[in-house]
Amino acid sequence: MTELDYLGDLNPKEAWKLLEQHKDCQLIDCRSAAEWTFVGVPDLGSINKNVFFIEWQTFPLMEQNSNFLQEVSDSGLDKDSKIIFICRSGARSRSAAEFLTNYGYKNCYNFSEGFEGSHDSNGHRGSVSGWKQSNLPWKQG
């Protein structure tokens, strides 16, 4: 199989604009169930959308979810939908976007800053960049 590139990285402003303005644009949070529960989750209720929660790597071993492709397919998203992937920092979501692109999903994007963003000078996340720091809507899981 020839490797195909996903459509690109989005910053918070770009991602929110796509989600807000395109009915066919959806968000997949591909972090682990533990992260959804303990860190919080994006909240798209204000734009009448739901977040799809599909682990790219399964907790606690963080092995690739062997059911990922099937779970995406079962979610009802079609291969022409615009899909933005988000994880903690942008690494897993990039891998998920690349993976689905190579399975025929044509409009995959990576939320490059992740939900929690980069580390600050104290090694903590959540204050430098990311979904939460950008004041995009979220709630505790």
- Average of per-residue pLDDT across 59-84: 94
| Phi, psi angle pair for 21, to nearest 5° | -100, -10
The pLDDT assigned to 2 comes to: 53
**Strand duo 51-53 + 57-58: pairing:** unpaired
Q: Report helix, strand or coil for 109.
A: strand
Beta bridge partners of 52: 28
Burial 1-37 (b: 16+ CB within 10 A, else e): eeeeebbebbebeebbebbeeeeebbbbbbbbeebbe
81-105: pLDDT as tens digits: 999 999 999 999 999 999 999 999 9
pLDDT at 66: 96
- For the chain, which domains are there? 8-134 (3.40.250.10)
Give the mean pLDDT of 27-41. 96
Q: What pLDDT is attached to residue 53?
A: 98
| Gap between the Cα atoms of 123 and 114, Å rounded | 16
Strands 63-64 and 8-10: unpaired
